[in-house]
């Protein structure tokens, strides 16, 4: 990315499912869904949202290899998306064991996202 215009951050949680992708998508949506960028087109060199570059950095507490990167990228509506996974986030107990789950795991997955937007 030649020029970073802004960075949005968010947090996503999967309370009962231990699904790192679900928590990551929620973190990305949390980062981008409370922002409006009405002047973004005019700030881009070719004034095209398709040429906007987005770099998503995810801090994952566990299960890096189970992340569905394509599903996370699809949470970004425009531009060319790249993804980076780093160690971080949080695992904590939800204190609720779901009886219908095979592993009866009570862990809550919390993911942090930083979404860089530029060109």
DSSP 38-107: TTHHHHSTT--GGG-EEEEEEEESS-GGG--HHHHHTTS-SSEEEEEEEE-SEEEE-S---TTSSS---E
How confident is the model at residue 56, as a pLDDT?
Answer: 98
Dihedral in degrees, nearest 10, Cα atoms 21, 76, 60, 69: 50
pLDDT of residue 71: 98
- Separation between Cα atoms, residue 40 and residue 26, nearest integer Å: 23
* Structural domain 4-34+48-118, CATH architecture: 2-Layer Sandwich (3.30)
Please tell me the pTM assigned to this model: 0.92
* pLDDT class of 104 with cuts at 50, 70, 90: low
| Host H or E run for residue 25 | helix 20-32
- pLDDT band at residue 27 under the 50/70/90 scheme: very high
């Amino acid at each position: 990315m030649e020029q970073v215009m802004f960075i949005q951050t968010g947090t996503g949680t999967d309370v009962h499912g231990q699904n790192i992708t679900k928590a990551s998508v929620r973190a990305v949506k949390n980062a981008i869904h409370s922002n409006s960028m009405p002047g973004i087109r005019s700030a881009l060199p070719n004034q095209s949202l398709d040429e906007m570059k987005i770099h998503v950095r995810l801090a994952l507490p566990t299960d890096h290899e189970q992340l569905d990167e394509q599903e996370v990228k699809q949470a970004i509506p425009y531009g060319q998306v790249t993804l980076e996974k780093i160690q971080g986030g949080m695992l904590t107990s939800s204190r609720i064991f779901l009886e219908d789950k095979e592993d009866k795991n009570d862990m809550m997955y919390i993911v942090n996202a930083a979404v860089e937007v530029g060109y």
